[in-house]
Amino acid sequence: MADDLLSQLKAMTTVVADTGDIEAIRRFQPTDATTNPSLILQAAQQEGRRARLAEIAGQATDLDDALDAVAVEIGSEISALVPGYVSTEVSARLSFDTEATLARARSLIERYARHGVGPERILIKVAATWEGIRAARQLEREGIHTNLTLLFSFAQAQACADAGVTLVSPFVGRILDWHRAQQPEADFDGDRDPGVQSVRRIYEHYKGHGYQTIVMGASFRNSGEIKALAGCDRLTISPALLEELAGSQGTLERRLTPQDAETRAPEPLDEAEFRWALNEDAMATEKLAEGIRKFMADQRKLETLLGELRRG
């Protein structure tokens, strides 16, 4: 019998669990795991964590301290279950503040060290704004690896590669969502999916110009998007879609293959060029802003929960 689709995918792509659910990570045994404020909120709301959350909240100096303590504790648990990276996000509130992002990232790395988790295991997740990319450039120079998230445009991908970031997370499903809202009657299946097309363009640009930045497709709406990107460096996948792939038989075709660099990389984008290119891309502009708002909405819910626990 042929291997299931998940096993075949793991043979050509590093599979990352897009979850804070410890049990799901144990079951699917991904190489890496990635979290965000929404996933941390889901994990924090599990009944079995409530006593520990109350303890963390009571010991914290303020809500920011409590939030980072929770994220690092959950991330440290995950790090014991995966051999590769664990992504932990800097507060979305700091998406337009380079210096504050740098300070928060360094603090998260120090917290992980106190849990016995070294910087080589952590990806600091930062929104791919101009300010976030500038912060990532400096963090990489300090030996702190970064994951640039909420990436919707080619300009963002160019700037991230120019900055030497470790990994980028282009959001496949959210790109599809936007185009479906604009053209509800259009056929976006398979290779016509604009999110799939975006990741392929980024992948081919990076490999064709010799960039070392890892491309990790994210935010999938269906398993077809995953199959269309088989062979990408990494794919971060929700437990529901991991379950579907693990339960599916058939032959998975490799769709992306690295090639030798063919040409020199183009000149880096400066700030004005980056902002203009992003402004010209209505989808990317809208989805980036919306993504930051959504992450902050879930962060505020977690802040409310921890605030209530601090007050007893």
Secondary structure (3-state) at 170 = strand
Give the pLDDT mean for 86-97: 96
Q: Are 166 and 213 in contact (CB under 8 A)?
A: yes
**Which of 209-223, 226-240, 248-262 has the weakest average pLDDT?**
248-262
Span 10-26, pLDDT tens digits: 999 999 999 888 889 99
Place of tokens 């914290």: 60
Which pLDDT score is estimated for 115?
96
Residues contacting residue 268 through CB under 8 Å, at least 6 positions apart: 158, 159, 162
| Domain range enclosing 91 | 5-310
Give the pLDDT mean for 187-191: 93
Which pLDDT score is estimated for 78?
93
Cβ neighbours of 263 (radius 10 Å): 8
Give the pLDDT mean for 271-296: 97
Q: Are 31 and 16 in contact (CB under 8 A)?
A: yes
287 noted as active-site residue:
no
Give the pLDDT mean for 82-104: 96
Which pLDDT score is estimated for 63?
87
Which pLDDT score is estimated for 68?
93
Span 123-158, pLDDT tens digits: 999 999 999 999 999 999 999 999 999 999 999 999
Which pLDDT score is estimated for 72?
94
Number of domains in the chain: 1
Q: Single out the catalytic residue among 125, 207, 227, 287.
A: 125
CATH number, position 256: 3.20.20.70
Which pLDDT score is estimated for 2?
65
Closest CA to 34 of 173, 161, 137, 149: 149
pLDDT at 1 over 60: no
Q: How far apart are CA 299 and CA 220, in angstroms?
A: 22
- Whole-number CA gyration radius for the chain: 19
